[in-house]
Chain A
Amino acid sequence: MAEEKFPINIWVNEERYQKLHEAELAHLCQEKLAGMKVIQVFATEAQKDRILKLFPTAKFDASTTRSIELLPRKVKDAIFDMVVRKKKVDVLEDFLNEYEASGGA
């Protein structure tokens, strides 16, 4: 059985959509909630645990959406910037490694 992966929902406003469009990633946006756009970055079980330890305000919504929520805005922005820079959504391992290497700066 495939390992369950847990989404980080990065909600997409016009500004974010424009950046995704320029990175040719706009097609990866999904309509998620009554027409809202979202781009999802997925975490493995081990990455989920690392995230929850690194960012104590983050929460895994186990009961409803099974997504990782409440990451600080600047963390979401940094993940989004890396998605745009690398032109792919499979960036979480790189992001976590960079974040840990920088001492959380």
Chain B
Amino acid sequence: MAEIGHGGKEIVERILPPGEAARAVEGLTPYPVRDQIANEVIDIAYGWFTPLEGFMGRADADSVIRKMELADGTVWSIPIVFDMSEAEIAEYGVKEGGRLLLTYQGNPLAILDVEEIWTYDMEEMCTAIFGTAEMKHPGVARTCGYKEKFIGGKVTLVNRPRINPVFEPYFIPPLEMRRRFREKGWAAIVVHQTRNVPHTGHEWLMKGAWAQAYGGLPIERPMVGVLVNAIIGQKRKGDYIDEAIILCQDELRKAGYFGDHNHMTSLTFWDMRYAGPKEAVFHACIRVNLGCTHHMYGRDHAGVGDYYDPYDAHRLLQSIPKEKLNITPVYSMNWLYCPHCGEITSEGLCNHKSEWQKFSGTLIRSIVMDGVKPPRLIFRPEVFDLVMECADRYGFGSPFVTDEYLAKRTPVFTIPPLG
């Protein structure tokens, strides 16, 4: 049975079997790619980026920038591009109609069919995607750091990544994810986008979204799941380490705050662009491909600094017709602690406004950095203990990203030699 993903296109894994791969790469010029490109190659090949079959040519990128859709009209909000310098193009003999063997960690990763070599005005690209061309915006800095030429063309994986321990159970590509959803019998799946260890505000956000997604479905058996989809990509100092994020999200299920019948944790490789509303749309596209029916959006989704109004993402999503983006946004208000109620509650529910104790992921990180254990109403003890265990086991003594962690950590995946 064909699996239909974003834009009404079939999800197809673009991956060659080993024998065929070995033959296909013979004689190709190897070109080593950086982490971001390796992540995106894997996303394309496994179908996370359906309908994309490769890196964008100029027509698609220009249409995304100007109209937030691919050239064929499919909603898409962030250009997926492969950059090379002119010197590299000359050095590696890259020509339209040719092929390049992309390597990572010294081993073959994928074939890139070079269909087009193109350029674009980077300031125009940044202004359209991020609403600013200021270099202090991390997405702008990343985009302006691209080399001067782009290569458009299809990508075919020749070597499956070996996902390293801790992360392996959470690497669930779109076709496999959809199979698991069917096994669980879930009729609705609401996805929680995260780069965080969960505090109880997150937990109640998920529980609120679960209830909203349940709607009028029958209650005789579990029919709605929460999919935690952690974004794993470039880390910034002070972020939670990846191991803590993924394991602590799953701990909510293991410790019984959720169960197998309504909760699953997974990952997607992606370097955040912090594009706010445009990234919110992008997240929706990839979660359609995972088979999700609903997508949670809190305030300032994928924002940074004060570049976006907290509800810009909601407004942009509301402007897209359902037939063009087949996922239901679930918007949420802030969750907070009310000492009068003695519980976590929502701005939209509780009327003890003068007593509200607001908290955020940043505030919780600050408490953990101070070495103080938050109360269970704010941070589940099992999760806190696991954060500290992750600091010892994976973070060189800290649950937060440090220079030492960046230098010595085990990579999330390894590309083995071509067998």
Contacts and interface: CB of A to CB of B under 8 A. Distances in A.
A95 B56 CA distance: 52
B378 interface: yes
Contacts of A11: 366-367, 370, 372
Contacts of A71: 366, 369
Contact of A69 (B300, B310, B366, B373): B366
A102 interface: no
A12 B299 CA distance: 29
B238 A70 contact: yes
Give the residue among B299, B359, B366, B374 with the most A Cβ atoms within 10 A: B366
A31 B378 CA distance: 14
A2 interface: no
Interface residues of B, number: 28
A78 interface: no
A73 B238 CA distance: 12
B348 to A, nearest CB: 16
Given A11-B370, A33-B337, A65 B375 contact: no
Interface residues of A, number: 26
Contacts of A57: 237-238
B365 interface: yes
B339 interface: yes
A37 to B, nearest CB: 9
Interface in A63-105: 63-65, 67, 69-73, 76
B404 to A, nearest CB: 14
Contacts, number: 79
A76 to B, nearest CB: 6
B97 interface: no
Given A11-B372, A34-B339, A73-B370, A65 B360 contact: yes
A61 B370 contact: no
Q: Which 9 A-B pairs have the closest CB atoms?
A: A69-B366, A64-B360, A11-B372, A57-B238, A34-B377, A11-B370, A34-B375, A61-B362, A69-B362
Nearest to B239: A57
B300 A63 contact: yes
A28 interface: no
B230 to A, nearest CB: 20
B220 interface: no
